[in-house]
């Protein structure tokens, strides 16, 4: 329900700055703009409330939430319909599409949530007095409700308790009904929490066993080839951020901006000289690509992020006891790992060093395979049989389980296609249980073998990712502080690319573990840890978690690390969609200083994102604009406005307009709309002669713009 509302808020937010720039002057236009801003704010508060609230409390208030969503929808539709007639035609067309979709928007209630709400409401109406003795009516109701709301793990119960406590802290004495309901829900979880987890896990296990084989169907048709229109003509890969240029051709933003930044002024396809080098987002193609990739189950990686990661990997030296490099192949959407250490110790106290490229290793694998019973390891030239043995792990002794997993790992190294069979989904749960048991038994070799098998399956099934539940993510998270941290991080990196698992990963406590890795002096896993954080930060719903875990103070020192600064500034920029983060950045002087340094010393892309962060902060509060009134910051912003990326230039110019003194004086120079698309105010020469050196940056900007205008007119 809230996710549907969030989709519209995201779409409106993308064009809201353009609507404000259009500045409808009439009274009705101003009123509509103010009402729209208020509706967006209320929607964000509602979405935040739903993301932070107790599942049980939300279940009993679904009706109220549904009405609030519909009321906000109607307000958004009314305001946008009024504004539509007061803005330029291109913007009006975008607004028209949103209004059309708002009219047809529905906010469906999840049947499981609705049923859980009815169960809890019925229980509350029984007015059963609190006591220490077990009440079967209470127990049955709590079990049914929590099972429908997927509160079935110890961590799930813990998170639910904390959510209720937070709501209790916020509720005041003027709302005794809500307060009493929350206290009763907390009482139920404290009283029956352990029994809920034990009994619900038994029920879930039975349901899974009954349905696991029914849900597996062979995929005869395979993944279809994407249309050529979805591919960038430069890279010939699916476009992550398609943009259209003046020639009418569509490209991947990263590659076309790289083309222009290299000094080219022509279209790479038509070779036509372009008057305007600023690309425009192609939202139509992007939505079509998004729809196609969703149907195919494909996640399209950000090429700018991959380019940076690839260059980072090439700089790092190989190490026999670490994951030496991490890179992504966009053609196959395939994550590869090189030089993974296989140094491990088993329960017998011995240790082995296996090298895939050595003859001794090959001989060891053959001898190990020959030692096992043929009934478990015969492949019969059938890929499916390799993974089929994993489905039977629970029926074997621990020693036989370890041998089975070890053999499967070796077979998958020689036959990666075997990972792509229908059995890949059904073997995930047994593997997770194997990893859990290995953790309890402290069998490091078994842990490493199990993690490497799981990693191989995930790498080969990115287009059809096997299903993980919350308990599976929890087991993997427990390995982030272990002897196989590298393998666990590699698995988490793959899962963090998928929207389905981002919120689940945060709920299972992955963030604190990742932050602990960044706090360590060892830099072995810093790069991939930052990649995971970067992927998670793209989900706007989890920005709040970054705030209360104090992520920002830990990220600030990393802005000075040239190998991690790119990830770090992207994370901060992504998190700036959350109000608390914008305020935290503005109130942290060390963060502003680090970003200022990045504006001067970073790459063009890093400078673009750093300027974007400052722009978000300055928009949040007027007093934050004073923070960037420094000579080095202003000079750096001016430099970006002239020499930065095309998007960086626009951000820098808009940022300069927000500076306090720049709004207090009348403009003397302006840029024609055909040039940069907006006016840049500055002050008269006489006035500038009386100012401090920080104003010199604006004189420099005026000269550059004048030169630009002269060249354009000639």
Does residue 269 share a domain with residue 290?
yes
Domain of 252, CATH number, reads 3.30.40.10
Residues 143, 149: Cα–Cα separation, whole Å: 10
Residue 289 CB-density burial (10 A; 0-12 exposed, 13-18 middle, 19+ buried): buried
Instruction: Check whether residue 587 and residue 709 sit in a common domain.
Output: yes
Number of C-beta neighbours around residue 75 at 10 A? 18
- Asked which of 119-123, 203-207, 458-462, 546-550 is least confident by mean pLDDT, the reply is 203-207
CA distance 403 to 376: 10
More reliable by pLDDT, 517 or 308: 517
Nearest of 514, 511, 530, 452 to residue 484 by alpha carbon: 452
Are 492 and 468 in contact by the 8 Å Cβ rule? The answer is no
Residue 126 has phi, psi (to 5 degrees) of -70, -20
Q: What helix, strand, coil percent values describe the chain, rounded to 5? A: 70, 5, 30
Residue 296 — φ and ψ, nearest 5°?
Answer: -85, -10
Report the candidate in 219, 222, 241 with the shortest Cα–Cα distance to residue 230.
241
Residue 361's pLDDT is 38
Query: DSSP 3-state assignment of 453?
Result: helix
Q: Are residues 118 and 99 in the same domain?
A: no
Q: Tell me the three state secondary structure of residue 327.
A: strand
CA 381 to chain centre: 40
Lowest mean pLDDT segment, chosen from 69-83, 493-507, 622-636, 679-693 = 679-693
User: Alpha-carbon distance 506 to 170, whole Å?
Assistant: 23
Strand partners, 252: 242
How long is the chain? Answer: 714
Q: Across residues 88-102, what is the average pLDDT?
A: 83
- Assess whether 591 and 668 both reside in one domain: yes
Total H helices, total E strands in the chain: 35, 7
Name the β-bridge partners of 328.
335
How far separated are the first and last CA of the chain, in Å rounded?
56
Does residue 80 sit in the same domain as residue 121? no
Write out pLDDT tens, residues 233-282: 887 788 988 998 888 889 988 888 888 887 888 888 888 888 888 888 88
Residue pair 535/496 in contact by the 8 Å Cβ criterion:
yes
State yes or no: pLDDT of 224 exceeds 70.
no
The model's confidence at residue 674, banded by pLDDT at 50, 70 and 90, is very low
- Give the domain-ending residue among 273, 296, 319: 296
Q: For residues 156 and 201, is the Cβ–Cβ distance under 8 A?
A: no
Q: Are 683 and 653 in contact (CB under 8 A)?
A: no
- C-alpha angle 318-333-241 in degrees, rounded to nearest 5: 110
Q: Residues 521-549: what's their mean pLDDT?
A: 81
- What average pLDDT score do residues 632-642 get? 87
Contact (Cβ atoms closer than 8 angstroms) between residue 445 and residue 482: no
Percent of the chain with pLDDT over 70: 74
Residue 359 lies in a domain: no
The string of DSSP letters for 486-502 reads: HHHHHHHHHHHTSHHHH
Q: Which of 252, 278, 296 is the last residue of a domain?
A: 296
Going by DSSP bridges, is the β-strand pair 250-252/242-244 parallel, antiparallel, or unpaired?
antiparallel
Of 248, 264, 296, which residue constitutes the final position of a domain? 296
State whether the Cα torsion 501-502-503-505 is positive or negative. positive
Q: Is residue 117 a part of any domain in this protein? A: yes
**Most confidently modeled range among 14-28, 266-280, 439-453, 458-472:** 439-453
Measured distance CA(181)–CA(164) in Å, rounded: 10
Q: How far apart are CA 533 and CA 535, in angstroms?
A: 5
Above 80 in pLDDT, residue 509?
A: no
Q: Alpha-carbon distance 100 to 119, whole Å?
A: 37
Q: Are 29 and 82 in contact (CB under 8 A)?
A: yes
For residue 385, is pLDDT > 50?
yes
- Mark residue 23 as left, alpha or beta (left: phi above 0; alpha: psi -120 to 50; beta: remaining): left
Question: CA-CA distance, 564 to 546, in Å (whole number)?
Answer: 18
Distances 106 to 1, 81, 109, 439, 668 between C-alpha atoms, Å = 8, 19, 9, 46, 51
Helix (H, G, I), strand (E, B) or coil at 58: helix
Over range 60-68, report the average pLDDT. Answer: 87
Tell me which residue of 462, 457, 524 sits closest to 498, measured CA to CA: 462
How far is it, in rounded angstroms, from Cα 87 to Cα 33?
12
134-138, 419-423, 626-630 — which is least confidently predicted?
A: 419-423
- Give one DSSP letter per residue of 282-297, joined into a string: -HHHHHHHHHHHHHHT
Based on the structure, what is the number of domains in the chain?
4
Please state the rounded mean pLDDT for residues 192-210: 55
Decide: helix, strand or coil at residue 691: coil
Mean pLDDT of 122-133: 83
User: Could you give the CA distance from residue 571 to residue 591 in angstroms, rounded to a whole number?
Assistant: 13
117 in the same domain as 96: no
Greater confidence, 465 or 447?
447
Three-class DSSP labels, 608-635: HHHHHHHHHHHHHCHHHHHHHCCHHHHH
Q: What are the phi and psi torsion angles at 251 (to 5°)?
A: -135, 165
Q: Is the pLDDT of residue 489 over 90?
A: yes
The verdict on 193 and 232 lying in the same domain is no
Beta pairing partners, 338: 325
Please give the average per-residue pLDDT across 431-447, as a whole number. Answer: 90
Q: Are residues 666 and 590 in the same domain?
A: yes
From the centroid of its chain, how far is CA 248? 31
Residues 580 and 713 in one domain: yes
- The DSSP result for 363-411, as a single string, is HHHHHHHHHS-HHHH--TT-HHHHHHGGGGGGGS-HHHHHHHHHHHHHH
Residue 649's CB: how many other CB atoms inside 10 A?
19
Nearest alpha carbon to residue 379 among 313, 423, 345 = 423
Is 371 or 410 the better-scoring residue by pLDDT? 410
pLDDT value for 660: 61
Torsion angle, alpha carbons of 211, 213, 216, 218, to 10: -150
Give the integer Cα–Cα distance in Å for 302 and 209.
38
Instruction: For residue 689, give its domain range.
Output: 572-714
Same domain, 92 and 115: no
% of the chain residues with pLDDT over 90: 9
pLDDT bucket at 673, cuts 50 / 70 / 90? very low
- Whether the pLDDT of residue 84 is over 80: the answer is yes
Residue 333 has pLDDT above 80, yes or no: no
Whether residue 271 sits in one domain with residue 167 = no
Contact by Cβ (8 Å): 162, 216: no
User: How many Å apart are CA 697 and CA 704, to the nearest integer?
Assistant: 11
Sequence-distant (6+) residues with CB within 8 A of 399 are: none
Q: Give 239's DSSP letter.
A: -
Read off the pLDDT of residues 557-611 as tens digits, 9 standing for 90 and up. Answer: 889 888 899 999 999 998 888 888 888 888 888 888 899 899 888 899 999 999 9
What is the structure's pLDDT at 41?
87
Answer whether residue 339 shows pLDDT above 50: no
pLDDT at 174 over 60: yes
What whole-number distance in Å separates Cα of residue 53 and Cα of residue 171? 12
550 inside domain? no
pLDDT band at 462 (very low <50, low <70, confident <90, very high): low
Q: Does a structural domain hold residue 599?
A: yes
Which residue spans within 26-182 are E strands per DSSP? Answer: none
pLDDT over threshold 80, residue 376: no
In a domain, 502, yes or no: no
Mean pLDDT of the chain: 74
Rounded average pLDDT over 483-488: 91
- Whether 184 shows a pLDDT value over 60: the answer reads yes
User: Is 622 part of a structural domain of the chain?
Assistant: yes
- Please check whether residue 505 lies inside any domain of the structure: no
Of 371-385, 527-541, 571-585, least confident by mean pLDDT is 371-385
Identify which has the larger pLDDT, 24 or 594.
594
Give the whole-angstrom CA distance, residue 585 versus residue 617: 7
User: Does any domain span residue 485?
Assistant: no
Average pLDDT over residues 512-526: 83
Higher pLDDT, 340 or 195: 195
* CA distance linking residue 514 with residue 511, whole number of Å: 5
Please state, as a whole number, how many other Cβ atoms lie within 10 Å of the Cβ of residue 375: 7
Do 89 and 143 belong together in one domain? Answer: no
Q: How far apart are CA 583 and CA 619, in angstroms?
A: 10
Neighbours of 672 (CB within 10 A): 12
- Asked whether 340 and 371 are in contact (CB, 8 A), the reply is no
More confident residue, 261 or 528: 528
């Amino acid at each position: 329900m809230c996710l549907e509302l969030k989709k519209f808020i995201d779409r409106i937010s993308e064009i809201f700055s353009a609507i404000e720039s259009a500045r409808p002057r009439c009274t009705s236009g101003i009123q509509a703009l103010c009402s729209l801003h208020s509706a967006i704010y209320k929607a964000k508060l509602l979405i935040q409330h739903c993301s932070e609230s107790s599942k049980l409390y939300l279940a009993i208030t679904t009706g109220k939430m549904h009405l609030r969503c519909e009321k906000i929808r109607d307000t958004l539709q009314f305001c946008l319909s009024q504004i539509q007639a007061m803005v330029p035609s291109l913007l009006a067309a975008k607004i028209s599409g949103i209004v059309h979709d708002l009219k047809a928007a529905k906010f469906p209630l999840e049947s499981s949530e609705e049923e859980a709400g009815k169960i809890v409401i019925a229980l509350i109406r029984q007015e059963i007095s609190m006591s220490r003795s077990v009440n079967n009516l209470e127990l049955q109701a709590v079990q049914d409700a929590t099972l429908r709301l997927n509160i079935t793990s110890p961590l799930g119960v813990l998170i639910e308790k904390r959510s209720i406590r937070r709501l209790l802290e916020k509720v005041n004495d003027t709302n005794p009904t809500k307060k009493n309901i929350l206290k009763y829900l907390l009482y139920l979880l404290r009283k029956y929490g352990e029994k809920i987890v034990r009994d619900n896990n038994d029920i879930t296990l039975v349901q899974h066993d009954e349905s696991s084989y029914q849900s597996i169907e062979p995929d005869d048709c395979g993944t279809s080839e994407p249309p050529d229109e979805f591919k960038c003509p430069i890279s010939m890969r699916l476009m992550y951020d398609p943009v259209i240029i003046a020639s009418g051709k569509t490209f991947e933003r990263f590659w076309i901006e790289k083309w222009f930044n290299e000094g080219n002024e022509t279209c790479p396809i038509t070779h036509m000289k372009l008057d305007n080098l600023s690309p425009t987002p192609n939202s139509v193609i992007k939505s079509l690509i998004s729809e196609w990739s969703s149907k195919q189950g494909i996640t399209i990686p950000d090429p700018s992020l991959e380019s940076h990661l690839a260059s980072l990997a090439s700089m790092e030296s190989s190490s026999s006891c670490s994951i030496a490099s991490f890179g992504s192949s966009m053609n196959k959407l395939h994550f590869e790992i090189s030089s993974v250490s296989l140094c491990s110790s088993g329960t017998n106290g011995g240790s082995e060093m296996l090298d895939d490229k050595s003859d001794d290793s090959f001989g060891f694998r053959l001898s190990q395979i020959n030692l096992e019973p043929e009934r478990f390891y015969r492949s019969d030239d059938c890929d499916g049989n390799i993974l089929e043995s994993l489905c039977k792990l629970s029926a074997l002794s621990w020693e036989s389980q370890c041998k089975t997993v070890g053999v499967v790992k070796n077979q998958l190294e020689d036959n990666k296609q075997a990972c792509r069979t229908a059995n890949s989904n059904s073997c995930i749960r047994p593997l997770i249980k194997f990893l859990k048991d290995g953790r309890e038994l402290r069998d490091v070799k078994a842990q490493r073998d199990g993690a490497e098998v799981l990693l191989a399956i995930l790498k080969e099934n990115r287009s059809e990712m096997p299903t993980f539940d919350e308990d599976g993510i929890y087991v993997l998270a427990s390995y982030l502080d272990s002897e196989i941290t590298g393998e666990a991080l590699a698995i988490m990196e793959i899962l963090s690319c998928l929207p389905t698992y981002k919120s689940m990963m945060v709920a299972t406590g992955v963030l604190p573990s990742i932050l602990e890795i960044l706090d360590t002096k060892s830099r072995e896993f810093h790069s991939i840890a930052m990649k995971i954080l970067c992927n998670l930060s793209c989900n706007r719903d989890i920005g709040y978690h970054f705030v209360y875990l104090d992520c920002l103070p830990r990220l600030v020192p990393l802005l000075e690390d040239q190998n991690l600064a790119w990830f770090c500034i992207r994370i901060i920029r992504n998190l700036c969609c959350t109000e608390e983060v914008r305020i935290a950045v503005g109130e942290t002087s060390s963060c502003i200083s680090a970003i200022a340094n990045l504006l001067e010393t970073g790459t063009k892309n890093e400078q673009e994102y750093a300027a974007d962060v400052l722009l978000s902060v300055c928009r949040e509060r007027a007093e934050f604009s004073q923070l960037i009134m420094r000579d080095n910051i202003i000079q750096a912003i001016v430099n970006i406005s002239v020499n930065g990326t095309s998007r960086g230039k626009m951000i820098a110019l808009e940022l300069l307009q927000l500076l306090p003194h720049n709004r207090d004086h009348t403009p003397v120079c302006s840029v024609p709309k055909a040039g940069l698309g907006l006016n840049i105010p500055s002050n008269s020469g006489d006035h500038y002669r009386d100012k401090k050196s920080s104003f010199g940056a604006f004189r420099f900007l005026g000269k550059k713009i004048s030169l630009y205008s002269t060249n354009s007119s000639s």
